[in-house]
Amino acid sequence: MGNAASESRVIIQDASGEKFWATSDLGATWMQPCGYETAHDSNGCFAKPGAEYGEVLTYVRMHDKRPEALLVLVKTCNAFNKPADKSERDCRVSRLMASENFGKSWVDLLENSKGKIASFVDFDWAPDDGKSAHPPIYATVFEDGKAFDHATGGWDYNVNFVISSDLFKTHRVVERCANAFEVINDDIYTASPPDCESYHRAPAKHEGQITDVVLKISTDAGASFVESCFPIDLPKNGFVIYDFHAETRGPDFIAIDHVEEDATQAEAPMNELYASDESMNFFSLSMRRNVRARNGLALSDFVNVLGLEGIYIANQINWKAFADPVSVNNGDYSRFFETRITYNAGGVWHRLAPPPSSEQCGRLDDCERWGLHLHGPTDWSASEDWGSRFGGVYSRSSAPGVIISTGNVGMSLEHNDVTRVNTYISRDGGVSWEETKRGPYIFEFGNHGGMLVIAKQFVQVNELEYSINEGKTWESLPLATPITVHNIRVDPSSKGHVFIIHGETAATPWEDEQRGSHFVVDFDQVIADGKKCDKSKDYEMWTPSPPGSDGCLMGQKLKLERKLRDALCFNDAEYERHREVVGTCKCSRAHDTECQYGSERVYNVANATEWPHCEPIENLNTQCPALKGARHITSSHLRIPSGDVCTDPHSALGSDDTGGRSHHHAFFMRFM
C-alpha cells in the first residue's frame, strides 16, 4: 500500500492481518510489528489495529494529504473463538480504528462515539481542506443498536452514510439509508434501498427482502444528492462507475448488473452500459450485454483509449447466445464475445476492421464479414492464473492514438486456443490495425510513448523485444536467465527507459524454490548510442479521423504531433507532444449523437438516411422520481453525447430540439 501524499511511505500487511511492516523512507528503514523481532528500535513499532479485538477486516487506508493518518476496520472478536465476556452479538460488531502517528497507536472510533454508533459497515477519508484538527472521515454505520441486532447482512434501511471531523466524538448524517458509498474525483456516489423515507414512516409496510437499490450522486460534498434514473425497469445487483475526467462533475458511464428474469441472461457475465446526461438524472442505454467479470470484481471489458476524447473499446455478448440457450456450453458464453469501438463516447458502436495482412484473415473465406476481436480487462485482471491472462487493450496518454492488444480475427474472441491469438497494434486511435506479432505478448510503453517493450506470454523466453517505430520492426534483447514473463512495468507516466520484467523461472516451487524472478532493464545502458530525435525532421502532425468523419472527433478537429514511423530515434527526456485544436465541427447525426433516455440505438435500419436511429426501449422505467418533472424529448430521440463540442446541434437533433446537449466525462467501483 502506497501513499499519494508521500510516495516514500509504504505499509506491508500480512495475509492474516496480524502483522504490519511500515516504512516512511521507501524501505531504507522499517517499523517492525510490535512484539516482533527488532520492534524496539528507534523508529518505534507498528501496533496491530485493535490488538485486543478480533481479525482485521480491510487493508490499512492511508490519507492522501496527511501522511501519518491511517484507517482500518476490525471485528470486535472472532465468533469461533470468542472470549468468555463477549456474546455472539458482540462479535458481529465492526470497529473503525484510526491512527494519526503512522501506526504507533490506534484510537477506537466506536468507543469514541460513546454509544452513538452500534457498528461500522464501511469507511473512507472524506475531502480534507486541512482546517480541522483531525481529518474528516466518511462511513456507513448502524446508529440504532436494536436495528443492528436484527440485521441479516443484506441491504438495510437502518444503515446511514455519515461524516465526522473529530474521530466520531460527534457525527452528522449525510444520506439516510445509504448502505454503500464511493468517493471518486470528489464526487460522492451512494447506493441505498428504495423508498427510504417511506420505510422510516411505516417500517411494517416494508417487510421482506430488498430486491433493488437506488444510486444517488452528489457533486457538492454531500450537500445535495440527485437520484439517477436508468431506463431498463429491472432490479440491480450492483453498479460499476466510470469517471474518466476529474475536472468535470459526475460520471461518464455507469454499468449495471441487472437482475434478469430470463435464466440464460441471468447466468451471463454481462452488464448494461449507460451514458450520463448533464443533470446526472437521466442515463441513456449505450450498450447492451457488455462483458463483465464473473468473480464479483468491479470489472468490465470497457476501456477508455487514453490521449483521445470519446474513443472507447468494449466487448459485448452477441444476442445469438440468448436466442438458443443450448448453444451455451456449461455456462461458457465466451464464444459469443465480440469487440466494438466507439468514436463518440458510446453514441454509436462499430466493429473493428481486421488487419488486411492478418494471417488469420487469409484463412477466412470472407474476411470482411468477420472482425478483429481484442481481449479486455476481464482477461487480464479477473484471473489469478498467470497462465491464462491475456494482455488486453492498452494505451497511454503519452502515446495518443497508439493502442496494443492481444486478440484474433474471426467470428468472436478466442480464449481457449492460444495458437489463434496474436498481438495487434493501431496507431490511429483504432481506425486501422496491424498484426505486429504472431502469438500473444505482454507489453509496455516507454520513452514518452516512443518505445514499446514486449515479451511472449505463457512460455519461457530468453529475450525481450523492443520497437522504436510503433511495432513496424522489432529488435531483440537477450536475458541472462530464461523466464516466463508475467508482466512488464515502467514509471507511471511511461516517460522513462527503465523497465521491470517479472515472472517465474520454473512452473512449480518443486522445480525451483526461488522461482520468482525479475529483471531491471535500463535502455539508456542497452542502447548507449541511441539517436535523439530531431524536432525539425523526425516528427509529423496528424489528425484523428474516425471513419467518414472528415477529421472531426467529438465535435472538433485536432492536430497531434507524433514521431515519423521510419524515424529510428528516441524522444528527448523533456519531450512534450504538441497538441492543437484547429477548429470545431457542425453537429452530425452520424458522429455527434446518442440516444435519449428511454431509447436505444438500432443498427439494422433499412433506410440509410435515417441512420443512426433510436427506438423506444421495451419495459421502460417510468417510476423514477426525476421523471415526474417536465422533460423535453426530441422527435428523433437523440441528444449530443457528453463532452462533444460540435456546433449547431439542431442540424443533428431536429427542429424541435430545445437543448439536447449532454455533459460529462474513469475510475470504477462496484456496489454489492
- Is 649 found in the same domain as 603? yes
Q: Which of 456, 497, 496 is nearest to 476 (CA)?
A: 456
Residue 232 C-alpha cell reads as 431498463
Q: 360: which DSSP letter?
A: H
Span 384-393, average pLDDT: 88
- Is 647 found in the same domain as 599? yes
In a domain, 647, yes or no: yes
Helices (H), 233-367: 263-267, 320-323, 359-363
Q: Residue 506, Cβ neighbours under 10 Å: how many?
A: 17
Residue type (1 letter), 120: F
Quote the CA–CA distance of 527 and 196 in Å, as a whole number: 64
Q: What is the pLDDT of residue 366?
A: 58
- Is 599 found in the same domain as 637? yes
474 confidence band (pLDDT: 50, 70, 90):
very high
Encode pLDDT of 394-450 as tens digits: 999 999 999 999 999 999 999 999 999 999 999 999 999 999 999 999 999 999 999
Count of structural domains, the chain: 2
Kindly tell me the burial class for residue 530, based on how many C-beta atoms sit within 10 Å of its own C-beta (0-12, 13-18, 19 or more). middle
- Is 580 found in the same domain as 602? no
Residue 560 C-alpha cell reads as 497531434
662 confidence band (pLDDT: 50, 70, 90):
very low
Residue 169 C-alpha cell reads as 466524538
Q: Residue 133, Cβ neighbours under 10 Å: how many?
A: 8
Among 550, 584, 618, the domain boundary falls at: 584
Evaluate whether 451 touches 497 at the Cβ level (below 8 Å). Answer: yes
Q: Which of 362, 359, 438 is nearest to 406 (CA)?
A: 438
Helices (H), 176-220: 196-201
Q: What is the pLDDT of residue 665?
A: 32
Instruction: Give the CA distances from residue 353 to residues 190, 370, 492, in Å, rounded to whole numbers and listed in that order.
Output: 40, 8, 31
Quote the CA–CA distance of 234 and 660 in Å, as a whole number: 26
Span 178-188, average pLDDT: 92
Determine the 3-state secondary structure of 263 from DSSP: helix
Instruction: Give the CA distances from residue 162 to residues 121, 222, 558, in Å, rounded to whole numbers and listed in that order.
Output: 11, 10, 45
**Range of the structural domain that residue 618 is part of:** 594-653
In a domain, 534, yes or no: no
- Is 646 found in the same domain as 623? yes
Q: Which of 155, 49, 41 is nearest to 106 (CA)?
A: 49
- Is 603 found in the same domain as 624? yes
Encode pLDDT of 507-539 as tens digits: 776 777 667 788 889 988 877 677 899 999 999
Determine the 3-state secondary structure of 540 from DSSP: strand
More confident site: 184 or 663: 184
In a domain, 623, yes or no: yes
Look over the chain and give the mean of its residue pLDDT values, rounded to a whole number: 88
In a domain, 600, yes or no: yes
pTM of the model: 0.88
Q: What is the pLDDT of residue 671?
A: 44
Encode pLDDT of 42-55 as tens digits: 568 999 998 888 88
In a domain, 108, yes or no: no
631 confidence band (pLDDT: 50, 70, 90):
low
In a domain, 636, yes or no: yes
Quote the CA–CA distance of 327 and 263 in Å, as a whole number: 14
- Is 577 found in the same domain as 553? yes
- Is 637 found in the same domain as 604? yes
Region of 642 on the Ramachandran plot (φ > 0 left; ψ -120 to 50 alpha; else beta): beta
Query: In residues, how long is the chain?
Result: 672
Concatenated DSSP letters for 392-451? --EE-TTSTT-EEEEEEEESS--SS-GGG-EEEEESSTTSS-EEEESS-EEEEEEGGGTE
- Is 604 found in the same domain as 574? no
Quote the CA–CA distance of 42 and 58 in Å, as a whole number: 28
In a domain, 556, yes or no: yes
Question: In 436-451, which positions are buried (b, 16+ CB within 10 angstroms) versus exposed (e)?
Answer: bbeebbbbbbbbbbbb
Residue type (1 letter), 439: G
In a domain, 156, yes or no: no
573 confidence band (pLDDT: 50, 70, 90):
confident
40 confidence band (pLDDT: 50, 70, 90):
low
- Is 601 found in the same domain as 576? no
Quote the CA–CA distance of 83 and 88 in Å, as a whole number: 10
Encode pLDDT of 111-157 as tens digits: 999 999 999 999 999 999 999 999 999 999 999 999 999 998 889 99
- Is 645 found in the same domain as 599? yes
